[in-house]
Amino acid sequence: MLIGSVARELGAFRVESVPRLRLVQLVYTGADGFPFERFPEPIQIAANGGAYGPFVAEHAVALALAAARMLLPVQAQMRSHTLRPPPEIRLLYGHTAVILGYGEIGRQISQRVQSFGMRTVAVNRTGTMAPGCSAVYPADRMIEALSEGDVVFDARPLTRATRGTIDARALGAMRPQAIYVNVGRAATADEEAIYRHLVDHPEFRAAFDPWWEEDFAAGTFGARFPLIDLPNFVGTPHSAGFGPATERYALERAATNLARFFRGETPRYLVDRTEYASAAQGT
């Protein structure tokens, strides 16, 4: 079965009606909102890893630049026809990017920021060294890695292990003038902690594409704290994966993984259900 949204596309569908079903291939990357209880084992679930990698990575760098160059406050200044004082610009060149989650998106971000002359430090599950990185930390040493970052990119999925891990302690470990960019899932960060840190540390900057409360059917998002009103925050409407080529690219990758299954090969990006047992809430 090839599926985007189970709720939107299948409605009251019952899995008993397709007793030979063995694989559900997702069109989208994340599995945190998938209703696993409706598809019991031995049915396997395959995410669409890397389906939006180039596009999300591009957006991540755009958010980092927007925050570093203070593009939103600068627009207000330009509308007042004022040239000076210049904005407090941060440079990517010669600085360090810490990438949380070094999967397809993380690697694509790394490739792009290296073209800016940045050093890349990654955090993955095991700390296994990866191409293009100066250093790689295991997930249980994330706090140590955060202290190295001038820009921290969060491209992790939302799982039991990642939910809320960018909390007050993690933010405190980051450099005072760091930029935190989240293009994975908003709920890997604690919303209140992000807001309090931005208010208490105006030199710190943050940029988010995903949001904690998203209603795609209504086309709206919600937030418990007025992040969008802060001058050191940049937000976009979970749009990193949108573009004229993105749908075809994602579908081709999903179809390629389905082809592996039909050839008798093991599909890629099979989901470990236990990682998502308590991660169904939030985005």
Q: Are residues 43 and 173 in the same domain?
A: no
Question: Does the residue 282 lie in any domain?
Answer: no
Within 10 Å of residue 183's Cβ, how many Cβ atoms? Answer: 32
pLDDT in tens, 147-176: 999 999 999 999 999 999 999 999 999 999
Q: Are residues 100 and 179 in the same domain?
A: yes
Q: Are residues 65 and 31 in the same domain?
A: no
pLDDT, mean of residues 138-155: 98
Q: Are residues 80 and 181 in the same domain?
A: yes
Please provide the average confidence, as pLDDT, over all residues in the chain: 94
Cβ pair 57, 108 in contact under 8 A: yes
- For the packed helices 104-114 and 53-68, what is the interaxial angle rounded to 10 degrees? 50
Q: Are residues 93 and 124 in the same domain?
A: yes
pLDDT, mean of residues 13-21: 93
How many structural domains compose the chain?
2
Angle at 276 (CA atoms; ends 273, 282), nearest 5 degrees? 155
Place of tokens 């755009």: 62
- The confidence score (pLDDT) of residue 12 equals 85
pLDDT, mean of residues 250-271: 96
Residue 278, pLDDT above cutoff 70: no
Domain extent for 37: 2-50+243-276
Q: What percentage of residues in the chain have a pLDDT greater than 70?
A: 98
Q: Are residues 248 and 172 in the same domain?
A: no
pLDDT in tens, 77-133: 899 999 888 889 999 999 999 999 999 999 999 999 999 999 999 999 999 999 889
The DSSP string of 8-77 is HHHTT--GGG-TT--EEEESSS--TT--GGGS-TT-EEE--TTTTHHHHHHHHHHHHHHHHTTHHHHHHH
Q: Are residues 153 and 183 in the same domain?
A: yes
Question: Does the residue 212 lie in any domain?
Answer: yes
Rounded CA gap, 14 and 21, in Å?
11
Question: Does the residue 66 lie in any domain?
Answer: yes
pLDDT, mean of residues 31-58: 94
Q: Are residues 192 and 107 in the same domain?
A: yes
Q: Are residues 167 and 247 in the same domain?
A: no
Question: Does the residue 281 lie in any domain?
Answer: no
Burial 199-219 (b: 16+ CB within 10 A, else e): eebeebbbbbbbbbebeeeee
Q: Are residues 43 and 106 in the same domain?
A: no
The amino acid occupying position 156 is R
- The confidence score (pLDDT) of residue 277 equals 66
Angle at 234 (CA atoms; ends 119, 27), nearest 5 degrees? 80
Question: Does the residue 283 lie in any domain?
Answer: no
- The confidence score (pLDDT) of residue 211 equals 96
Q: Are residues 102 and 69 in the same domain?
A: yes
Q: Are residues 41 and 159 in the same domain?
A: no
CATH number of the domain within which 198 lies: 3.40.50.720
Is 152 in a helix, a strand, or coil? strand
Residue 235 token pair? 């937000």
Residue 282, pLDDT above cutoff 60: no
Rounded CA gap, 234 and 75, in Å?
13
Within 10 Å of residue 114's Cβ, how many Cβ atoms? Answer: 14
pLDDT in tens, 201-229: 999 999 999 999 998 888 999 889 999 99
pTM of the model: 0.93
Q: What percentage of residues in the chain have a pLDDT greater than 90?
A: 82
Residue 200, pLDDT above cutoff 50: yes
